């Protein structure tokens, strides 16, 4: 009869520290049996579960209870005696709560192991003492290292089958220690066990007096994991904006890492606007501070436009804001291989965006750790890739922050998860602060003899910038040309900067990647500033699909001299117009990275001027703009 599970005070239970650990091993190494022994000897199996196990064991013709059946829950697993899918089990002792992920050891189930181990604090790698260190044993250690699991137990199992030999155990320890030096695991402990008989699992073994270390359970209960938490880099992905009434605006989410306190200065990404924390609210209380893994609502002292998918960070501690990065990825799709020509949805924290695999640098043989050239990745293969995103993402390296350094790739048609990745570093030429990169050193502005004000007085009008943004086919260029002609005919100093003309000349070296789009707008904004300084009215007609791009352009000009003009037109109407045949080519696959088809367009939420070209004629639109100038 199984003993009753010890009862815990509810509040005490909720406050107990949680350890997530995973197991991995080759076929018949005894992973499931070890977990069963942990649960059985720690009194974590209820009476009805025990009766079910006894019945299942009898059906298999076994006299004793088969503890592996506790986790091998699928019929196929029980029939074959192997673990196929990830099995999660929850239990607690008076010292700590646990979540176990029992993962399959077969190479063809690498994706399952990656999934189960991705959130683990500790990994238990089992080695059969009879067989010694196998290729699979090294593969499991490599994957644990790849996933950044900070603690590792190497359980040398089935010591009873080698007559409790100290020599066999030491030989395995030496061989695996030599191998582990190539891995990124710094806390590794070897324990000789017999999962079947319970030696050194929960209770100390009498059969191995030469071993004076801890049992598996003791190490699970006492391993220090608080230092593994990232309490330095505050990262708060926005999950939901709470606005129950006009006097309350809060930002809800789960703190990915770091600590936040009332009064702390914060920055919102990607807008880079700053404020201070006014309140930290939970479902039942108001806090002075909150930390990693807590779900909270933040209220700020200032009204800042922040939406789901954006992030709040500390002003002096920011992640990379990038559109390209290098990552290690495990391919999980059993239907299609990874394709560098296929767009994928990238999910990073609460942010989703379109992405492309720009390059596969190499794939990794998970058995030998050797690198191999590759044009694609198949199911369960792991490779190093460079990814480009359609809009900036806010990331850290996986090594420093597992929460903001991880992502998944989703098939845009089936919405199945096809890949899981870990960010290594920002890709070349995709650094933080996209617009601040292009600055010359040791250069200062020369004071002008003829100022803008002097020019404006002579011209009889003030300089201004009208920035027309909208989808291709919305009518930006047509409106811009007629407005320029109307102002010119009246003797105004005016100049039109149009997308196609600029790309034929000064921006002819740029393509249409996200990075090149930012550089295109950066150059245009600086040119517009030069014309503005000369006292001109500058008309800019560019898609400029990101609000961040337009905010940067506006930041270059004095208050009240820059007008964001949203030339509004639905995507369906733009496709119908298609004056240059670009939508047709994009839909046919002849053009890539086309806004509205492959990439999203951030429509202005609060433009200075709104022109709906489905309701207004070109002449009416020009008159509206002309009227705003007058």
Reading phi first (left if > 0) and then psi (alpha if -120 to 50, else beta), residue 61 is in left
- Lookup: tokens for 345: 């949805």
Reading phi first (left if > 0) and then psi (alpha if -120 to 50, else beta), residue 368 is in alpha
DSSP state, residue 4: P
CB 96 within 8 A of CB 221: yes
Q: Number of helices (H) and strands (E) in the chain: give both, helices first.
A: 16, 28
Sequence-separated (6 or more) residues with CB below 8 Å from residue 314 = 234, 258, 260, 264, 265, 266, 267
CB 116 within 8 A of CB 103: yes
CB 484 within 8 A of CB 495: yes
CB 22 within 8 A of CB 141: no
Of 32, 194, 355, 544, catalytic: 544
CB 325 within 8 A of CB 387: yes
CB 483 within 8 A of CB 625: yes
Sequence-separated (6 or more) residues with CB below 8 Å from residue 303 = 249
Q: DSSP states of 71-89 as a string?
A: T--SHHHHHHTS--S-EEE
- Lookup: tokens for 286: 């108001």
The whole-angstrom distance between residue 333's C-alpha and the CA centroid of its chain comes to 19
**What's the rounded Cα separation, in Å, for the pair 12 and 80?**
41
Question: CA 501 → CA 474, 496, 541, 615, distances in Å?
Answer: 18, 10, 10, 28
**What's the rounded Cα separation, in Å, for the pair 540 and 476?**
9
CA end-to-end span of the chain, whole Å? 91
CA-atom Rg of the chain in angstroms: 31
**Is 555 labeled as catalytic in the residue annotation?**
no
- Lookup: tokens for 347: 């999910």
- The 3-class SS string of 237-275 reads ECCEEECCCCCCCEEEEECCECEEECCCEEEEECCCCEE
**What's the rounded Cα separation, in Å, for the pair 236 and 257?**
7
Ranges of beta strands (E only) in 106-234 are 122-128, 151-157, 187-192
**What's the rounded Cα separation, in Å, for the pair 151 and 191?**
14
By DSSP bridging, strand 371-372 and strand 464-469 are unpaired
- Lookup: tokens for 331: 């391919």
By DSSP bridging, strand 562-568 and strand 464-469 are parallel
The catalytic site residues sit at 544
């Amino acid at each position: 009869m199984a003993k009753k599970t010890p009862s815990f005070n509810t509040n005490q239970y909720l406050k107990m520290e949680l350890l997530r650990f995973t197991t991995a091993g080759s076929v018949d190494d005894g992973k499931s049996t070890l977990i069963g022994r942990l649960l059985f000897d720690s009194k974590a199996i209820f009476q009805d579960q025990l009766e079910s196990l006894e019945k299942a064991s009898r059906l298999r013709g076994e006299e004793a209870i088969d503890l592996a059946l506790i986790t091998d829950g699928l019929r196929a697993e029980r029939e074959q005696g192997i673990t196929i899918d990830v099995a999660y089990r929850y239990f607690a002792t008076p010292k700590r709560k646990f979540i176990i992920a029992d993962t399959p050891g077969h190479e063809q189930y690498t994706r399952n192991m990656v999934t189960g181990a991705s959130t683990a604090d500790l990994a238990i790698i089992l080695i059969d003492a009879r067989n010694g260190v196998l290729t699979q044993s090294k593969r499991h250690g490599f994957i644990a290292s790849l996933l950044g699991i900070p603690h590792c137990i190497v359980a040398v199992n089935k010591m009873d089958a080698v007559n409790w030999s100290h020599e066999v155990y030491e030989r395995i320890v030496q061989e695996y220690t030599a191998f582990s030096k190539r891995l990124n695991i710094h806390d590794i402990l070897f324990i000789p066990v017999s999962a079947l008989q319970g030696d050194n699992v929960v209770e100390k073994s009498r059969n191995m007096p030469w071993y004076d270390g801890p049992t598996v359970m003791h190490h699970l209960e006492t391993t220090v994991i608080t230092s593994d938490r990232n309490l330095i880099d505050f990262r708060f992905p926005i999950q939901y904006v709470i606005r129950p009434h006009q006097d309350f605006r809060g930002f809800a989410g789960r703190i990915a890492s770091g600590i936040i306190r009332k009064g702390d200065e914060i920055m919102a990404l990607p807008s880079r606007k700053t404020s201070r924390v006014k309140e930290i609210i939970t479902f039942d209380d108001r806090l002075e501070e909150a930390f990693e893994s807590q779900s909270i609502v933040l209220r700020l002292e200032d009204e800042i436009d922040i939406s789901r998918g954006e992030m709040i960070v500390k002003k002096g501690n920011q992640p990379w804001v990038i559109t390209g990065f290098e990552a290690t990825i495990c391919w999980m799709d059993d239907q299609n291989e990874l394709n560098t020509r296929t767009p994928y949805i990238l999910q990073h924290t609460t942010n989703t965006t379109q992405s492309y695999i720009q390059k596969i640098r190499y794939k990794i043989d998970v058995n030998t750790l050797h690198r191999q050239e590759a044009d694609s990745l198949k199911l369960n293969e792991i490779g190093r890739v460079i990814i480009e995103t359609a809009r900036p993402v806010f990331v850290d390296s996986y090594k420093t922050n597992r929460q903001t350094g991880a992502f998944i790739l989703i098939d845009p048609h089936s919405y199945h998860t096809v890949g899981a990745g870990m960010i290594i570093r920002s890709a070349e030429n995709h650094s933080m602060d996209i617009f601040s990169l292009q600055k010359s050193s040791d250069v200062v502005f020369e004071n002008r003899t003829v100022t803008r004000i002097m020019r404006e007085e002579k011209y009889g009008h003030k300089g201004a910038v009208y920035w027309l943004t909208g989808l291709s086919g919305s009518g930006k260029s047509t409106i811009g040309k007629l407005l320029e002609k109307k102002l010119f005919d009246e003797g105004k100093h005016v100049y039109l900067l149009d997308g196609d003309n600029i790309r034929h000349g000064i921006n002819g070296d740029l393509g249409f990647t996200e990075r090149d789009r930012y550089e295109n707008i950066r150059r245009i904004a600086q040119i517009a500033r030069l014309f503005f300084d000369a006292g001109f009215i500058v008309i800019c007609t560019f898609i400029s699909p990101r609000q961040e791009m337009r905010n940067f352009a506006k930041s270059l000009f004095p208050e009240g001299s820059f007008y964001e003009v949203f030339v509004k037109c639905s995507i369906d109407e733009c496709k119908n117009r298609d004056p240059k045949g670009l939508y047709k080519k994009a839909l046919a696959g002849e053009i890539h990275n086309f806004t509205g088809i492959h990439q999203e367009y951030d429509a202005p939420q609060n433009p200075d001027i709104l022109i709906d070209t489905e309701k207004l004629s070109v002449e009416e639109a020009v008159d509206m703009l002309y009227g705003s100038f007058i």
